[in-house]
């Protein structure tokens, strides 16, 4: 019994000695090597027992860092412990130090990823928010640059090709009565010198027989041209015109004509007369034996 008790006490002593040696060994190993802070983490103090994650908007890509860096321009650091910043997509940008990239504002764009700023939308294009490239303005629209939407050409103007930075005056022979719509060709009897919202009627004494006229032609002799005339009208018998007149003139008393398109009137010969100027008296009359006789042409 005494021998057994002595053996147990001896074994307990050995166990305590071995445990102490293990503790000493562990303590010595811990003192010789500290664990480096992980990428995305840092340790800024001495005697630290753990590393700290970089806050949102910062990062570190190396181990054993004592501080974190602001997220670089053109990138985002959206979570704690970021070790690899994310590049901004096209249409987004970041000036740096941000948790997330920002939409390009309306009227600007980025064509590539990793942008630190947005570029103003070029002339002839529109750039809505979040766009990666501008969209060309349609025909009839324009943009001077930096716009989210193209503008309709003002009245009396027009753009003939897509991507216009400005509008041109409505072309001669056409009118541009509505914003953004195609020019309309002037009708016969009308004209436009250009830059007009509506075509102009040919003035009295002129005419135009074509569509898209840029000017009107003077009415020829023997014809009449009221306002907006598209074709000269020949003077009827008993009337005449010397040219550029709105309306043919009746032959005055003592004269006559009996043809269409006359440029003047003939004097009544001796023995003949015409008492008044009227379309009803196209020929002079002769009072003879109580009857009216029609005269021959002069």
According to the model, what pLDDT value does residue 2 have? 46
Question: Do 137 and 125 share a structural domain?
Answer: yes
Counted domains in the chain: 2
pLDDT at position 186: 96
Of 148, 169, 190, which residue is a domain's last?
A: 169
* Spatial distance between the Cα atoms of 158 and 262, rounded to a whole number of angstroms: 46
152 is a domain residue: yes
> Terminus-to-terminus CA distance in the chain, angstroms?
177
Q: Is residue 127 part of a domain?
A: yes
CATH of the domain at 148: 2.10.50.10
Give the distance between the most distant pair of CA atoms in the chain. Answer: 192
Stated pTM of the model: 0.61
For residue 104, tell me if it sits in a domain. yes
Q: Are 151 and 108 contained in the same domain?
A: no
Please check whether residue 88 lies inside any domain of the structure.
Answer: yes
Secondary element (H or E) of residue 16: helix 2-32
User: Which tokens sit at 64?
Assistant: 């054993």
Q: What is the pLDDT of residue 96?
A: 96
Q: Are residues 105 and 129 in the same domain?
A: no
Look at residue 200 and tell me if it is in a domain. Answer: no
For residue range 216-249, what is the model confidence (pLDDT) as tens digits?
999 999 999 999 999 999 999 988 998 877 789 8
- Residues 268-280 have a mean pLDDT of 69
In a domain, 11, yes or no: no
Among 117, 132, 158, the domain boundary falls at: 117
Would you say residue 143 lies in a domain? yes
The number of beta carbons lying within 10 Å of the beta carbon of residue 248 is: 22
Q: Hey, what long-range contacts does 238-245 have (CB within 8 A, 24 or more apart)? A: 238/278, 238/279, 238/280, 238/281, 238/282, 239/279, 240/264, 240/265, 243/218, 243/219, 244/205, 244/206, 244/218, 244/219, 245/205, 245/219
Q: Is 110 a member of any domain?
A: yes
Q: Do 97 and 126 lie in a common domain?
A: no
**Structural domain of 147:** 121-169
């Amino acid at each position: 019994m005494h021998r057994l008790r002595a053996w147990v006490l001896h074994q307990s002593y050995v166990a305590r000695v071995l445990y102490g040696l293990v503790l000493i060994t562990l303590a010595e190993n811990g003192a010789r090597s500290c664990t480096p802070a992980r990428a995305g983490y840092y340790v800024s103090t001495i005697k630290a027992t753990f590393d700290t994650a970089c806050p949102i908007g910062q990062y570190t890509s190396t181990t054993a860092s004592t501080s974190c860096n602001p997220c670089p321009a053109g990138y985002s650091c959206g979570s704690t412990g970021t070790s690899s910043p994310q590049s901004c997509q096209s249409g987004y940008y970041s000036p740096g130090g941000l948790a997330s990239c920002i939409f390009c504002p309306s009227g600007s764009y980025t064509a590539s990823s990793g942008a630190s700023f947005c570029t103003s939308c070029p002339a002839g294009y529109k750039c809505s928010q979040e766009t990666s490239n501008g969209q060309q303005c349609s025909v009839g629209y324009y943009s001077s640059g930096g716009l989210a939407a193209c503008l309709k050409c003002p009245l009396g103007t027009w753009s003939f090709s897509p991507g216009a930075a400005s509008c041109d005056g409505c072309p001669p022979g056409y009118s541009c009565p509505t914003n953004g719509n195609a020019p309309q060709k002037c009708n016969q009897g009308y004209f436009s010198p250009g830059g007009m919202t509506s075509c102009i009627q040919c003035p009295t004494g002129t005419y135009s027989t074509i569509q898209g006229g840029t000017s009107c032609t003077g009415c020829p002799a023997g014809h009449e041209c009221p306002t907006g005339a598209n074709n000269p009208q020949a003077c009827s018998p008993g009337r005449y015109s010397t040219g550029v007149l709105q309306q043919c003139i009746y032959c005055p008393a003592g004269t006559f004509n009996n043809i269409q398109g006359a440029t003047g009137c003939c004097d009544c010969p001796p023995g003949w007369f015409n008492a008044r100027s009227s379309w009803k008296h196209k020929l002079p009359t002769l009072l003879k034996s109580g009857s009216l006789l029609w005269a021959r042409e002069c």
